[in-house]
Amino acid sequence: MRPELAAEVDEWVRKAETDLGAAEALLRGPRRFPAVAAFLCQQAAEKMLKAFLTRKETRFALIHDLRRLCELCAESEPAFATLREAAASLTPYAVAVRYPGRGPDPDDAEAEEALRLAQEVTRLTRERLLLDDGDR
């Protein structure tokens, strides 16, 4: 892999891990912020999927639709099709929780589920990135 491509993939992964860590902190701290945590879970999943697409040198729009990003990933790696439900659940948190009038904010249980789903996306993506690295 070209060094500049590897650096870009690493940056997507680093940002995703930061978002996931922040989401965990917002759900585990003395004061909980489930709406912000759910947003960060969506962001973490989005960035991990974009890391994989970058690794595969697949063009993608700067979108928040995880379903579409999963479809693009699945074109190179069918295992991403297993993330369809996670993508459908997480996608609304990209916008809905950030603006008034876009729907109710998630409660603690919904934010915990968003965290679990983001961890699932992260785990599968990391596995596929490591497999790709091993194929070199």
What pLDDT, on a 0 to 100 scale, did the predictor assign at position 1? Answer: 74
- Residue ranges of domains in the chain: 3-134
Residue 103 scores a pLDDT above 90? no
Looking at the whole model, is its pTM more than 0.75?
A: yes
pLDDT digits (tens, 9 = 90+) for 26-44: 999 999 999 999 999 999 9
Q: Which CATH architecture has domain 3-134?
A: Up-down Bundle (1.20)
pLDDT digits (tens, 9 = 90+) for 104-130: 899 999 999 999 999 999 999 999 998
What pLDDT, on a 0 to 100 scale, did the predictor assign at position 132? Answer: 79
pLDDT digits (tens, 9 = 90+) for 86-97: 999 999 999 888
Residue 66 scores a pLDDT above 80? yes
| Ordered alpha helix ranges (H), the chain | 3-28, 34-55, 66-76, 84-90, 108-134
What pLDDT, on a 0 to 100 scale, did the predictor assign at position 136? Answer: 41
- Closest by CA to 52, choosing from 135, 132, 136, is 132
Task: Give the pLDDT band (50/70/90) at residue 134.
Answer: low
Q: How many residues does the chain have?
A: 136
> What whole-number distance in Å separates Cα of residue 74 and Cα of residue 5?
20
What pLDDT, on a 0 to 100 scale, did the predictor assign at position 101? Answer: 83
Asked whether the beta carbons of 86 and 80 are under 8 A apart, the reply is no
Q: What integer best gives the mean pLDDT of the chain?
A: 94
